[in-house]
A = this chain, B = another copy of it.
Amino acid sequence: MFLVNRLEDVELPPIGATDVLVKMLAAPINPSDINMIQGTYAILPDLPAVGGNEGVAQIVEVGGQVTSLKAGDWVIPKDAGLGTWRTAAVLAEDDVISLPNNIPLLSAATLGVNPCTALRMLADFEDLKPGDSVIQNAANSGVGQAVIQIAAAKGISTINVVRDRPEFTQLSDRLKAMGGTHVIKEEALRRPEMKEMFKTCPKPKLALNGVGGKSATELLRHLQYGGSMVTYGGMAKKPVTVPVSALIFKDVKVRGFWVTQWKRDHSSDGKAFRAMLDELCQLVQQGKLTAPACTEVSLQDYGEALDSAMQPFTSAKQVLIM
């Protein structure tokens, strides 16, 4: 397959009675967007298609039967596959959900995937109480940063694992400033100093895995008896390897989470999604949840933004500004 990404001018369709005309404001480039373009993602659009699955838009005009939205409202997609890398679109009222428009633009543009993933993983697998702890790898990823902040807001400690790098100390300081309790390097997971840490921090009930391979196995070793590991990504492109003894004698539960599936499973009643966004927006308004470091790029420069997003160790998310 030969795939071309290009900017095109497309005539907008007329606005039907249950449609809305939106102006896209900002849309990030996420790893899953790139996998979708590469054809390696679990869901693939019919081609030609508009790239991008996340972003915030402003309502410009609504059809005659639209009651839930009005001009000026900010909205985000309800499901993946909407195609957010464009300046304007005519969408079904039911394809989008509103956000308050008094939160930062970059927070709104990046709220629908990573913070939702983080919140659900913290809520749906283990009954976490203030004082409990969670361990995660890829702690500097979009999900990782949201996990740190949402957990901190709930009084839950986080043990944050990152790959070693020259500027480890700065990264550690940044993640701690955001609410991370401990920040450690991958290699430290196998070292005796972990025992020291667990003298003051309870063993985690929950491990969040965005990497796979050895990193995931190391997270498992530190789980509490009966705890869960939830995999939401596989950056290392290696499977999750679980010792038989951990399953039988430690009763660890190995699960996965995909926010797109969660949204689809909850699409018939919109209340769960609404409640989740309200909770997240409240954290944003209280200053407890900030967007990850972003590089704002004009839509015209999408080529450079895609290249940057594909570099390893990218520390800033590329966000297209329309």
Contact = CB atoms under 8 A, between A and B. Distances in A.
User: Of residues A233, A238, A247, A258, which shows the largest number of chain B Cβ atoms within 10 Å of its Cβ?
Assistant: A247
A208 to B, nearest CB: 12
B253 A255 contact: yes
Number of copies of chain A assembled together = 2
A93 to B, nearest CB: 29
B243 A242 contact: no
Contacts of A253: 253-255
Interface string A255-266: 111100100000
B234 A254 contact: no
Given A249-B42, A253-B253, A244 B231 contact: yes
Contacts of A261: 249, 251
Contacts of A241: 239-242
Contacts of A233: 244, 248
A116 B246 CA distance: 21
B254 A247 contact: yes
B42 A245 contact: yes
A231 B256 contact: no
B242 A239 contact: yes
A137 to B, nearest CB: 13
Interface in A208-253: 212, 217, 231-234, 238-253
A239 to B, nearest CB: 5
Interface in A109-165: none
A255 B229 CA distance: 11
A233 B252 CA distance: 14
Contacts of A239: 217, 241-244
Contacts of A254: 242, 247, 253-255
A117 B257 CA distance: 29
A231 B250 CA distance: 12
A89 B234 CA distance: 55
A261 B243 CA distance: 18
A30 to B, nearest CB: 14
Nearest to A254: B254
A219 to B, nearest CB: 13
A252 B244 contact: no
Contacts of A42: 245, 248-249
Contact of A248 (B243, B246, B252, B257): B257
A234 B240 contact: no
